[in-house]
Structures are given as C-alpha cells and as structure tokens.
A and B are shown apart, each in its own frame.
Chain A
Amino acid sequence: QLQLQESGPGLVKPSETLSLTCTVSGGSISSSSYYWGWIRQPPGKGLEWIGSIYYSGSTYYNPSLKSRVTISVDTSKNQFSLKLSSVTAADTAVYYCCPNYYDSSENWFDPWGQGTLVTVSS
C-alpha cells in the first residue's frame, strides 16, 4: 500500500523559494499507472492543485501557478519534489503530496500524505 511523506522547511521568507520533497514507500514511483501530485490548502480554506509529474519527468501544472512552479522526480530515491519561487503570505498553506492515478477514463488522488504546513513570513 502506497504511503507518502512530505518533508521540508516549515518557514520560508517572502520572495524566497519554497522547497518540499515527497518520499514514496510501499510502491515504485516508476509505476506506469501514476503521476505524482502536489496539492495545497491555505489554513481554513479549500484545496488547490499545484501540479503533477510522471516518472519520466513529464509535468503538468496549474496555469495559475505555472510561472513559479517546478516539480521534479528522482526515481533512484523514490522521491519527487516541489519548488515554488517568489513566495508571498498567500502561499502559506498545508502542502500535500499524493499519487495521481491517471488513465483515459478516470484520474484521481489517493492516498494523500499527511501534509506539511509551510508558513511564509519574515
């Protein structure tokens, strides 16, 4: 059973780059059935998809964040990572990583990592 764990700094200064890593266990990140995604949730608010990556390195991003987002994958470590540049207080959120099951008729996120709170503040 897949399990995912986010890691990275919990505090980032404004204008700097937020960097998080997600470690996958219980399965291979090179599975052909899955992309691997990042989703965030500002405190007390709803969910926003950030982007997803395939083990080959193919990515797709939320257009509203695309200019600031880079998602990468390290198959040797069974990890994928998120970088979000030029952060502001509006980027303060719980960041989740999750498998993004993807085929022609259905695609969804499950199971989710426990999430990590990233606060943007000086």
Chain B
Amino acid sequence: DIQMTQSPSSLSASVGDRVTITCRASQSISSYLNWYQQKPGKAPKLLIYAASSLQSGVPSRFSGSGSGTDFTLTISSLQPEDFATYYCQQSYSGYTFGQGTKLEIK
C-alpha cells in the first residue's frame, strides 16, 4: 500500500498569508496526486488534480507542485473561506489519502 503523509497536521494563519502544505508519498507516484478541501459538515471538493492542474472553478490563488514522492499545495493569499481541512490523495495505485491538514485562523 502507498502511504501518504501530510505536514503539518494543523496550521494557524492569517487572512492574506501565503500558506504551503506538504504531502509525501511512501513510494514514487509520478504526478498522480490530487488535493481536496473539506469544510466542516460538508463533502470534500477537488482543488488540484495531477499534481498541478487547477480544477475548473477553483480560484487561482490555489496551486500545486511536485512529482515523484514530494508535493506541495500553496495558497498564495489566504481568504476567509479557505479555512478548512486539506487532504492529499494518491491515484497511482488504488487511492489513499493523507491524514489531513487543518488550516485555522490565527
């Protein structure tokens, strides 16, 4: 099984901050990496697919990068609606998710 490890597990930041979340795979997954945002009581929403492709309708302040085993999600300027939990997911072999990163207001 491919394990996905996110860091940090939680993060406090302010509106306007630049934030980076990291995801590491236990083996190379090429660019088969997706990012999701989940708000409390809601279903997850796809933000980034194939490591760096922005899903339609997602604001351009979200970006993704990486390949192989190391990936990042960056939010260039935090907005109030961005405070949520973020999950990475590998789609190279089956699907496994990271444990999540909770982004909170400082």
Contact = CB atoms under 8 A, between A and B. Distances in A.
A118 to B, nearest CB: 15
A63 B44 contact: no
B33 to A, nearest CB: 10
Contact of B94 (A47, A49, A98): A49
B97 A47 contact: yes
A46 B94 contact: no
B46 interface: yes
A113 B94 contact: no
Interface of B: 1, 31-32, 34, 36, 43-46, 49-50, 53, 55, 87, 89, 91, 94-100
A112 B94 contact: no
B99 A113 contact: no
Interface residues of A, number: 22
A49 B45 contact: no
A40 to B, nearest CB: 11
B97 A46 contact: yes
Contacts of B87: 46-47
B34 A113 contact: no
A108 B31 CA distance: 12
B53 A106 contact: yes
Contacts of B1: 63-64
Contact of B34 (A37, A46, A108, A115): A108
Contacts of B32: 106-107
Interface string A13-33: 000000000000000000000
Nearest to A105: B50
